[in-house]
Structure 1
Amino acid sequence: MIVGVLRETAARERRVALVPEDVRRLIAAGMAVVVQCGAGRYAGFDDDCYRAAGARLVASGAEVFAPADLVAWVKPPVFALETMPRRPGLTLVGFQDPIHRAAQIAMLRALGVESVAFESVSREGPPEADALTAMSRIAGGVAYRAGRRLIPAHARIRPIRSLVLGSGQAGRSALAAAHACGDEPPVVVGNRAEQRDAVIALGPCDFRVNPGGDPAPILDWIRDGKPDLIVCAATHRGARAPLLLDDAALAALGPGAVVVDLVAKAGGNCVATVADATVIRAGGVVVTHRSNYPSRRPAAASHAYSAATVAMILRLAGGRG
């Protein structure tokens, strides 16, 4: 099997799909690896690192696709994939944005190209192949701090009040960041009561259950608590995210409040979310989303992502994928 690694083309993306040490693992398993020049530069891995690991370096994306049986990326390329040279049975591994790119994925399948989406990997599967969980652990904390910096300076002279929607890996990471910043214990909303112990184990918080994804209690909690920051991280893997913050909820927030929506690619928890953009509402509420929060920690995120990528490739090569 020949594995190709692309240089990322998405805006502000600094991660790489495979780090040199995992290239060595694939080569030791009998595979060949082709890497596009500059693929690991922003994560701290220059081309010589990949050459030393045994990879062949090529200049363009087309030169990655031409010999590859499998191409790995972090985020879908911005160029038209159907224009790339391809071998029969080509497989694409990475985040696929399956909700917004459903038509393109179907078109590629009609051309004989299969897409393996990390967004859809089951939580019951091998944890080492779960890139979404690995990235969520990083994204929640980075997003909390990024949102906190958008709060007006006069509000940050005291510990801020926050509301975390979702108690999965991203929500728990946001909770940990709130404690690290010395802020008030957040209100954390989960969809199952049995999540309480795992969440509270990370530190003090007010854990609340909203099993049906109903926005009405969220509105009441906003009116009662007046949070400065809301982190939206409520989603079910492979499904559209529930809408939890409607216009009434945003109107109930005070001027200068910030909403960071981590799940815009799954439809978003907030009615005002625009993917990869920051919106300022008429009432002065800031709603922001970035699809690459983990890329703000490119080396750590690349190592974690690469571990999942190599595990997935080995599964596919063994016929178990």
Structure 2
Amino acid sequence: MIVGTVREIKNHEYRVGLTPESVTELVAHGHDVLAETGVGDGIGSGDDAYRAAGATIVATAAEIFARAEMIVKVKEPQPAERAMLREGQILYTYLHLAPDPEQTRDLIASKAVCIAYETVTDASGGLPLLKPMSQVAGRLSIQAGATALEKAHGGRGVLLGGVPGVLPAKVAIIGGGVVGFNAAQMAAGMGADVTILDRSPEVLERLGIYFEARAKTRFSNRANLAAAVAEADLVIGGVLIPGAAAPKLVTADMLKTMKKGAVLVDVAIDQGGCFETSRATTHAEPTYIIDGIVHYCVANMPGAVARTSTYALNNVTLPHALRIADLGWKAALARDPHLLAGLNVCNGHVTYEAVARDLDLPYVPAADMIR
């Protein structure tokens, strides 16, 4: 199979779909890899590293889209990239379609085979291709929130861990999953006063056992959530419904109860955000202020630490890429129901139920595409 990887064109996105090491594996399996010139610059891997791995360096993304049977990316294709997709071509990347009707319409029109990292599952019901980026984003959310709390960035001027004789910042983390757990690790490690909210008693018990006195847990009902948000200096939104739009848990009215200069970091922004006042921002302009509350809603947070993120991502995406290339997409998906769960759009149909429901589009089961 001819596999292509292109430079990401989203604002300040430096991650790469395939590292030189991943190229080596694909070439060893007998596949041809096309890499756009400069594709690895953001992770410190120049064209020579890709050549040494066996890739053919190509001058433009357009040539790769024209020649490759499978495109391996990181972020959702931008409008110019979607226009280059063709019928039957495999697109393997993050998509986050539920809050993005325009992208979804374009992918339907392309009749490409679109496999989304974020909905591929595993035997335990987890999301293994999303997990490493959730780990990175959870940890980054505390770094970003701590910076946004600084007075020069519009925040309250509060040091997350405090100092002797001065109380630390209060951090409320909504959601005790991968993002929330990693955010809590960072915040507790920095000495903040941490509260984690979740609706699952099992999750709360597990977090309580792990953190002991270093973080508090609280059941996430409306009253507890409102109280935690009002008390917090920093709120992390880490709620995920696989493939679907995130629920709007923090309302615009709640902002009026918060301390001026408090910070909201919406890690769920890829799926539309879990704060009612969230709108996607970029690394170039990461924050905005509403009612005196600083909002950080960067939609590709892990891109800020591109090298770490790229290698963590390739560790989990490459095995599936190899199977797709080795067997063809139909056979690979037929053999692996967890990979089949990643099929979001195929041959002009929406094949992921939550996306179809949220966007009010016709749904065709993914299994129908491999018969």
Q: TM-score, normalised by structure 1?
A: 0.90
Match of 1:234 among 211, 233, 239: 239
- Number of paired residues? 312
Instruction: Please state whether the residue corresponding to 2:275 is helix, strand or coil.
Output: coil
Alignment gaps of 5+ in structure 2? 152-156, 334-371
State the distance in 2 between where 1:237 and 1:97 align. 10
Shift of 1:202: 4.2
> Residue type of the partner of 2:279?
V
2:307 equivalent to 1:299: yes
Distance 1:126-1:17 versus aligned 2 partners, 3 A rule: farther
> Which deviates the most, 98-107 or 159-168?
98-107
Instruction: Please state whether the residue corresponding to 1:155 is helix, strand or coil.
Output: coil
Instruction: Please state whether the residue corresponding to 2:316 is helix, strand or coil.
Output: helix
Q: Which residue of 1 aligns with 2:176?
A: 167
State the distance in 2 between where 1:75 and 1:299 align. 15
Instruction: Please state whether the residue corresponding to 2:332 is helix, strand or coil.
Output: coil
The correspondence of residues 58-69 of structure 1 with structure 2, limited to 5 A, is 58-69=58-69
The correspondence of residues 38-57 of structure 1 with structure 2, limited to 5 A, is 38-57=38-57
Q: Which residue of 2 aligns with 1:243?
A: 248
> Which deviates the most, 100-109 or 186-195?
100-109
Distance 1:161-1:46 versus aligned 2 partners, 3 A rule: same
Shift of 1:280: 0.9
Shift of 1:191: 2.2
Distance 1:311-1:102 versus aligned 2 partners, 3 A rule: farther
Q: Which residue of 1 aligns with 2:229?
A: 222
Superposed CA RMSD in Å reads: 2.1
State the distance in 2 between where 1:183 and 1:43 align. 32
State the distance in 1 between where 2:5 and 2:11 align. 18
Q: Which residue of 2 aligns with 1:290?
A: 298
- Kindly provide the CA deviation profile for residues 66-87 of structure 1, in whole angstroms up to 9, marking residues without a partner as x: 221100111124342354274x
Q: Is the 8 A contact 1:147 1:259 kept in 2?
A: yes
Q: Is the 8 A contact 1:19 1:302 kept in 2?
A: yes
Instruction: Please state whether the residue corresponding to 1:30 is helix, strand or coil.
Output: coil
Q: Which residue of 1 aligns with 2:198?
A: 190
Q: Which residue of 2 aligns with 1:138?
A: 136
Distance 1:125-1:313 versus aligned 2 partners, 3 A rule: farther
Shift of 1:137: 0.4
Shift of 1:301: 0.4
State the distance in 2 between where 1:62 and 1:281 align. 40
Q: Which residue of 1 aligns with 2:217?
A: 207
State the distance in 2 between where 1:64 and 1:123 align. 31
State the distance in 2 between where 1:219 and 1:126 align. 30
Q: Is the 8 A contact 2:89 2:113 kept in 1?
A: yes
Shift of 1:119: 2.1
Q: Is the 8 A contact 1:99 1:266 kept in 2?
A: yes
Instruction: Please state whether the residue corresponding to 2:280 is helix, strand or coil.
Output: coil
Q: Is the 8 A contact 1:98 1:117 kept in 2?
A: no
> Residue type of the partner of 1:57?
I
2:280 equivalent to 1:268: no
State the distance in 2 between where 1:218 and 1:31 align. 51
Distance 1:134-1:218 versus aligned 2 partners, 3 A rule: same
Q: Which residue of 2 aligns with 1:99?
A: 98
> Residue type of the partner of 2:275?
C
> Residue type of the partner of 1:218?
L
> Residue type of the partner of 2:47?
D
> Residue type of the partner of 1:25?
E
Alignment gaps of 5+ in structure 1? none
Instruction: Please state whether the residue corresponding to 1:252 is helix, strand or coil.
Output: coil
State the distance in 2 between where 1:161 and 1:104 align. 38
Q: TM-score, normalised by structure 2?
A: 0.79
Q: Is the 8 A contact 2:174 2:238 kept in 1?
A: yes
Q: Is the 8 A contact 1:175 1:202 kept in 2?
A: no
> Residue type of the partner of 2:113?
E
Q: Is the 8 A contact 2:79 2:103 kept in 1?
A: no
Distance 1:280-1:123 versus aligned 2 partners, 3 A rule: farther
> Which deviates the most, 97-106 or 307-316?
97-106
- Kindly provide the CA deviation profile for residues 264-297 of structure 1, in whole angstroms up to 9, marking residues without a partner as x: 2212111111111522122x21112111211222
2:31 equivalent to 1:31: yes
State the distance in 1 between where 2:309 and 2:317 align. 12
Identity of matched residues, %: 30
Distance 1:123-1:246 versus aligned 2 partners, 3 A rule: farther
Instruction: Please state whether the residue corresponding to 2:92 is helix, strand or coil.
Output: strand
Shift of 1:314: 2.1
Q: Is the 8 A contact 2:188 2:215 kept in 1?
A: no
